[in-house]
């Protein structure tokens, strides 16, 4: 992460400097970039297969026309994920996805999962298409507290993971792809 325009802070253990510069920094950039890119690809795959399926949702957020923003979301997540994974045009792709992920965080925070998800109809909808989300023990736990603990966990994960993912994408937007990337290895430049 060191560049010619940054001052390097003296290390408490100076002998670790070469390890940090040659191993830890490149691998940490690579690991974060692969994780963010892969997660965007996984999230974007269903959207790229049905690029207009999110039209109603995007319009519910006030983004018109919904078909356009649904397509943008699909391409941004899937294609952006592939580009971030490869480390190609990482900064603009990470910035665009960071903004989108910040909106996702805001959505989860502003519109928390409600008790409706824990009604028999909500649980049946969650288990549609052959999914088994609750074991018999899990269903008993839901019945014992009305699902409050489960709902809290789901909400915490939605907000927490959205926040973490947003920060990770914005970190890549700020610092770039790292040395093990198409941007630096092949192009020898960054956006």
User: How far, in Å, CA of 50 to CA of 47, rounded?
Assistant: 5
Domain borders along the chain are 26-185
Report residue 159 CA to chain centroid gap. 11
Q: In percent, how much of the chain has pLDDT > 90?
A: 60
pTM > 0.85: yes or no: no
Q: Give the three-class secondary structure for 62.
A: coil
Q: What does the DSSP 8-state code read for residue 87?
A: T
Predicted pLDDT at 20 = 92
Predicted pLDDT at 31 = 96
Tally DSSP H helices, then E strands, for the chain.
9, 0
CB 179 within 8 A of CB 29: yes
Q: What is the pLDDT of residues 111-150, one digit of tens each?
A: 887 766 667 776 666 666 666 666 777 767 666 776 777 7
């Amino acid at each position: 992460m060191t560049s010619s325009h940054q001052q390097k802070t003296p290390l408490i253990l100076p002998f670790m400097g070469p390890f940090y510069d040659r191993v830890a920094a490149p691998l940490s950039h690579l690991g974060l970039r692969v994780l963010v890119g892969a997660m965007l690809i996984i999230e974007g795959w269903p959207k790229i297969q049905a690029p207009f399926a999110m039209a109603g949702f995007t319009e519910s957020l006030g983004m018109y026309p919904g078909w356009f923003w649904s397509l943008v979301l699909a391409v941004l997540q899937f294609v952006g994920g592939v580009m971030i994974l490869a480390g190609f045009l990482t900064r603009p792709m990470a910035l665009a996805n960071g903004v989108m992920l910040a909106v996702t965080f805001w959505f989860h925070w502003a519109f928390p999962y409600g008790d409706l998800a824990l009604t028999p109809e909500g649980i049946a909808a969650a288990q549609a298409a052959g999914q088994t989300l609750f074991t018999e023990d899990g269903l008993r736990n839901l019945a014992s507290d009305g699902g409050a603990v489960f709902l809290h966990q789901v909400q915490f994960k939605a907000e927490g993971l959205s926040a973490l993912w947003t920060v990770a994408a914005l970190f890549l937007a700020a610092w770039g792809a790292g040395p093990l990337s198409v941007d630096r290895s092949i192009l020898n430049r960054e956006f």
